[in-house]
Amino acid sequence: MLLETHDKLLFIGDSVTDVDRARPVGQGLAFGLGHGYPLLVNAQLALRFPQLHVEVLNLGTSGNTTRDLLARWESDVLAHKPSVVSILIGINDVWREFDCPGRKDQVTVDEYAANLRTLIASTLPEVKAILLLTPFFLELHADDPMRSMTDEYAAVCRAVAEENERVWLVDTQAAFDQLLARRHYMTIAGDRVHPNTTGHLLISELVTDMLATAELVTGENTVRAGQHP
């Protein structure tokens, strides 16, 4: 289990994490956490581990790229002193290549990798663990240009997660691919990026299961739980 009593779990990312969360900090009762997977993770933790009394924060911001996260990391992550941080970022790094063709300021896959490593390096000394969620695109055809590029950025997440034993990979793309084998993407995310409640429930189950089954790394001999899914 990655969480202990009265720990603070902080979610950060783009619109897939934001989902109308409260400002300046998404937290508290009602829909302060927004309407997406952070809200559902909070509910699942309360049901499955009520004794822990985990505090959950949502600092997702629509439209963000890894470059944007770098600019606000100190104020929106480190200043809150979280115990565990969950990062889901990358689809806007990809999307700008397609909805704004010709722009010169897109976040390339190399910059994406460098940005992730910078975020992780600045955070690991301050937290117990980091969850790194792969960006996803709900398209099964691997030759689709946006799916192909999203796969490149997701591969970066997998590689970066392997570089440190306290970074845990949550492979959302693999999980969505399994669901897409049985359901059309229109029943999960009409634009193939922003999930409906079904999609957010899937992400929340992946995150909650990882929080529950992974082991805190406290020494060189600690054995990691299996990656998800």
Catalytic-labelled residue, pool 151, 194, 200, 228 = 194
- Which of these ranges, 11-25, 94-108, 110-124, has the smallest mean pLDDT? 94-108
User: CATH number of 8-213: 3.30.420.40, 3.40.50.10190, 3.40.50.1370, 3.40.50.1110?
Assistant: 3.40.50.1110
Grouping H, G, I as helix, E, B as strand and the rest as coil, residue 209 is helix
Task: Give the per-residue pLDDT at 146.
Answer: 92
Catalytic-labelled residue, pool 15, 83, 86, 204 = 15
Summarize pLDDT for 143-199 with one digit per residue, the tens: 999 999 999 999 999 999 999 999 999 999 999 999 999 999 999 999 999 999 999
Catalytic site includes residue 144: no
Catalytic site includes residue 191: yes
Task: Give the per-residue pLDDT at 228.
Answer: 41
Task: Give the per-residue pLDDT at 98.
Answer: 73
Task: Give the per-residue pLDDT at 44.
Answer: 97
Q: Considering just the CA atoms, what is the radius of gyration of the chain in Å? A: 17
CA 134 vs CA 33, 79, 144, 172: distances in Å: 21, 25, 18, 6
Catalytic site includes residue 15: yes
Q: Cα(181)–Cα(162) distance, rounded to whole angstroms?
A: 28
Q: Where are the domains of the chain?
A: 8-213
Residue-averaged pLDDT of the chain: 92
Catalytic-labelled residue, pool 6, 53, 75, 191 = 191
pTM across the whole model: 0.92
- Which of these ranges, 55-59, 183-187, 193-197, 220-224, has the smallest mean pLDDT? 220-224
pLDDT category at 81 given cuts 50, 70, 90 is very high
Q: Cα(64)–Cα(110) distance, rounded to whole angstroms?
A: 17
Task: Give the per-residue pLDDT at 97.
Answer: 72
